[in-house]
Amino acid sequence: MSIAAFPVSRVLPAVPYETLAEYVSAVGGGDGLRDARLVQREVVIEELEASGLRGRGGAGFPTGTKWRTVVSFESADLSTSMVVNAAEGEPGTWKDRAILLANPYAVLEGALIAARVVGARTITIATKRRFGEVVTRLHSAIDEVRAAGWLDDPDVGTIEVTVFEGPEEYLFGEETALLEVLDGRQPFPRIAPPWRRGVVEVVRGDHDVESGSGLSADVQFAVQSSDNEPPPVLVNNVETIANVAAIIAKGAEWFRSVGTAESPGTIVCTITGAVRKPSVIEAPMGTPLRRVIDEASGGVGLDRSLQCVLMGVSNAILTPDELDLPISYEAMRQRGSGLGSASFIVVDDSTHPAALAAGVSRFLAVESCGQCTACKQDGLRISDMLAEIVDGRGGAPDLHTIELRLATVADGARCSLATQHQVVVGSIVETFSAALHEQAQINSAPVAHYLVAELTALSGGIATIDETFAAKQPDWTHGGSDSGQAPAERLDEHRV
Ligand code: SF4
């Protein structure tokens, strides 16, 4: 393990590559794709497995295992599809957009290798309509790699690469919800995993509809017209796929030359909140969190002290005495938290813990789709009660009721959002119970609200949060008043 070099630059160059030629000359771009096309796909999968690369979208699932699983479920008749999840939306995260803006070529090269391995003829880069600059950059990069002949696989044929511009919702970044949107439905998570089944509706009889897989109308037609089982879909996060080409070109051992045994390689971290210089930085896995916060982002401002670090809205908060924890999947898991997408939102002592809990709770309650009753209803109840405490309208029993609702919010949950609500808000309530209890007393003075929302920009040491989220209603309309219906009840028309 080596953590001496910091920061490092494997997927996020210090100076953005303006052209494909720069990528080729700077880091040997194209070598991984060339090498992958010279060997059997098993060799590529084995190299990925040996590298220990884990998904950087949040779950940390081994990438080689994922590719092998997708291959094992491939259809004899229909092509597997390849999707790059570029629908970043975790509060405090900018890393995928930073990579796509500075180095889209590594993402495209990795996706082309993936497509070859799983036998996909199409690559869909699923991003958000609101990411205009990223969409423009992707189109120009795709034109360049097309002109360079990279899309023409000698065995698979020409790979079609498209950029999909999806909705703003947080759940669009959830893997199965993303696939639902790609086939024209709402970003509502489903149960069937992508490696078994994707999103094509397979209609067998008038009332027998089930989820299938595949992304194109051709695949839908083929599935509906035959007894074929739908093919799987490979979905990889932007940062994950950006690591692939270099692993194939330079080998698993090179990849493991930084990082830890269980978390090899680097990770692109976003540090925002109460730091002097919000930033995106690529660090070796295993780097102490304190070093990233202090050296990359200048720590908290003068006359302030760090109160806690919010790990996006996915994992338990960390407290000041835990800042020397290494940034790795195993260290965070051992602590009872998680690395997620390496979003570190630094919170200083100017924020009241009740406001922090209310901000997280509101974000997750609003973004809940409502397919699961407890997630939406208990989530909104928690959010409302915390807002009452923040506004000085609380009463002592509220804290106990919040704990009761936190205990049930994840009952029957279809996706991880409800558990995130339970874990993140639960960790704030538990850590700062005395401060919350005091603020919950009758006649407390109101404290300032704390907005938790997606980043809309991060540049030159300035991070911008989506202020419009403050007006987003739980039914996913903006402004006005809430209909009282969950999105899953209200949105029965296709809206992508
Ligand atoms: S857990 Fe929440 S966000 Fe996830 S599917 Fe159920 S209602 Fe929707």
Q: Is 189 in the pocket of ligand 1 (CB under 6 A)?
A: yes
pLDDT grade, residue 76 (50/70/90)?
A: confident
Q: How far apart are CA 403 and CA 390, in angstroms?
A: 16
* Mean pLDDT, the chain, integer: 90
- Judged against a pLDDT cut of 70, whether residue 24 lies above it is answered with yes
Q: What is the tens place of the pLDDT at every residue in 400-456? A: 899 999 999 999 999 999 999 999 999 999 999 999 999 988 888 999 999 999 999
* Ligand 1 atom, smallest distance to 418 CA: 1
Strand ranges across the sheet with 122-128? 160-166, 122-128, 81-85, 233-237
Q: How far apart are CA 214 and CA 220, in angstroms?
A: 7
Comparing 138 with 231, which gets the higher pLDDT?
A: 138
pLDDT score of 481 = 87
pLDDT grade, residue 134 (50/70/90)?
A: very high
The domain spans of the chain are 20-254, 353-449+466-490
Report the pLDDT averaged over residues 13-23. 97
Q: Is 223 in the pocket of ligand 1 (CB under 6 A)?
A: no
Strands 233-237 and 81-85: parallel
- Judged against a pLDDT cut of 80, whether residue 375 lies above it is answered with yes
Report the pLDDT averaged over residues 343-368. 97
Report the pLDDT averaged over residues 273-279. 95
- The residues, ordered by sequence, that sit 6+ positions from 361 with a Cβ below 8 Å of its Cβ are 379, 382, 383, 386, 421, 425
- Judged against a pLDDT cut of 90, whether residue 464 lies above it is answered with yes
Whether 119 contacts 271, CB under 8 Å: no
- Judged against a pLDDT cut of 60, whether residue 217 lies above it is answered with no
pLDDT score of 207 = 34
CATH topology of domain 353-449+466-490: de novo design (two linked rop proteins) (1.20.1440)
Q: Is 369 in the pocket of ligand 1 (CB under 6 A)?
A: yes
Report the pLDDT averaged over residues 469-486. 91
Nearest-Å Rg of the Cα atoms of the chain is 23
Mutation probe of ligand 1 site: the residue of 369, 378, 416, 421 with most atoms within 8 A of C-beta: 369
CATH of domain 20-254: 3.40.50.11540
- Judged against a pLDDT cut of 80, whether residue 197 lies above it is answered with no
Mutation probe of ligand 1 site: the residue of 174, 180, 371 with most atoms within 8 A of C-beta: 371
| pTM to 2 decimal places | 0.92
pLDDT grade, residue 221 (50/70/90)?
A: very low
Mutation probe of ligand 1 site: the residue of 211, 376, 378, 423 with most atoms within 8 A of C-beta: 376
How many angstroms is it from 316 CA to the middle of ligand 1? 19
353-449+466-490 shares the fold of 20-254? no
Residue having the nearest C-alpha atom to atom 8 of ligand 1: 369
| H-helix or E-strand spanning residue 374 | helix 373-390
Whether 318 contacts 325, CB under 8 Å: yes
Residue having the nearest C-alpha atom to atom 6 of ligand 1: 372
How many C-alpha atoms does 207 have within 13 Å on its Cβ side?
0
Q: Over pLDDT 90: what percentage of the chain?
A: 78
